[in-house]
Structure 1
Amino acid sequence: MKLPVSTEWVLHCAASLAQIEPGETASATRLAEFFDVPAAYLAKQLQALVRAGVLAATTGPRGGFQLARPAAQISLLQIVEAVDGASSPYVCGEIRQRGRGALPPEDCQDRCVLARRMDEAHQAWRESLAGVSLADILDAIPETAPARTRSRLLGRG
């Protein structure tokens, strides 16, 4: 499975927003500069996180983005699915019923074993991401990271 590069961007942005103080926000422009990514495209991805209830957005001169709820209540799966959707990357086209090697319809009453295994793998991947919150990520980063992130992202410690 290959996810778009924007998936990395939104995961890092959400983790960075989890490091700022409650009530503080970071604009899409600041986040884009922080990670050296295209601001307009990042802003669209951040809006997808707002629509999914992961982020909250405020407007105005001091507006920007912040987590919509505590980091412990936001899973990596919620972030990924907000921008990439929830559908399985594998689509079974039932090619076992085509071509010279086509199986007769009576041998294809059950779903293809390959499709079942791919669905199981996708479900395991989803469960793994669902079991990791932004709070878990914060617990795994260096102790000095949040202060550094606040300083460089917001211009203060």
Structure 2
Amino acid sequence: MNQGVEWAMHVLLSLAWAGDERPVPTARLAASYDLPQAYLHKQLQALARAGIIESLPGAKGGFLLARPPEKITLMDVVTAIEGTEPAFACTEIRKQGMGENAPKSAFRQTCAVNAAMQRAELEWRRSLAAQTIADVKAAAEAHAPSAPRLARQAYGRG
């Protein structure tokens, strides 16, 4: 997974803490995490295309959550940033090297490595789909009770 997923998650938490009274500009979101604005904007656009956040144009524009944190799963975020391609792609390496001269019958069954990786990825996706931004927000607040206040201050809300 690339850093964009981590950045997106933090931004979604910040937007949840900032509230929905007015949008938060990309520049403020980037500055609050000391991130490059142009790259963060790409992640924000991906979240907006996925319907996770709303992009409001103009001088007073920026980003707001498009739906409540309880309705945004971690899988939604990963899919928005990373896409829907599987994390593992079997290249049938078993047919190379020592398997190069094996009969075709040796490869009738699915590759055991591929099967194991597909099972693991399915469980990973299920786990991400079972957790929401609200869940992460609650955990973050339990570990760092000042985080909501700091986010509101960073975005001129408090």
What TM-score, normalized by structure 1, do the two folds share?
A: 0.92
Identity %: 39
Q: Which residue of 1 aligns with 2:40?
A: 42
Deviation at 1:20, TM superposition (A): 1.6
Alpha-carbon RMSD = 1.3
- Would the alpha carbon gap of residues 101 and 110 (structure 1) be closer, same or farther in structure 2, given more than 3 Å must change? closer
- Per-residue deviation, 1:146: 1.4
Aligned to 1:65: 63
Provide the C-alpha distance between the structure 1 equivalents of 2:38 and 2:135, rounded to a whole number of angstroms: 29
Within 5 Å, which residues of 2 pair with 1:21-36? Answer: 21-36=19-34
- CA shift at 1:26, angstroms? 0.8
In the alignment, what sits opposite 1:16? 14
| Maintained 8 Å contact 1:56/1:68 | yes
- Does structure 2 retain, via aligned residues, the 8 Å contact 1:11–1:80? no
> Can you list the C-alpha shifts for 1:11-57, whole angstroms capped at 9, x where unaligned?
11111111122232111111110110110111011000000111101
Which AA in structure 1 matches 2:120?
A: A
Aligned residue identity for 1:52:
A
Q: How does 1:121-136 map to 2 (within 5 A)?
A: 121-136=120-135
Work out whether 1:76 is the aligned partner of 2:74: yes
Query: What is residue 84 of structure 2 aligned with on the other side?
Result: 86
1:148 maps to: 150
Q: Partner of 2:54: helix, strand, or coil?
A: strand
Q: CA deviation at 1:114?
A: 0.5
Instruction: Report the number of matched residues.
Output: 154
Question: Gaps (5+ residues) in structure 2?
Answer: none
Confirm or deny: 8 A CA contact 1:97 1:105 kept in the other structure. no
Per-residue CA distance 1:85-114 (angstroms, 9 max, x = gap): 122221111121223333321121121011
Counterpart residue identity of residue 25, structure 2: S
SS across alignment from 1:110: coil
Tell me, in whole angstroms, the C-alpha distance in 2 between the residues paired with 1:149 and 1:58: 20
Consecutive unaligned residues of structure 1, counting only runs of 5 or more, are: none
**Higher fraction of helix:** 2
What CA distance in whole angstroms lies between the structure 2 residues aligned with 1:12 and 1:141? 10
Alignment partners' CA distance in 1, 2:69 and 2:90: 36
What is the rounded CA distance, in whole Å, between the counterparts of 2:157 and 2:51 in structure 1?
27
Displacement of 1:155: 1.9
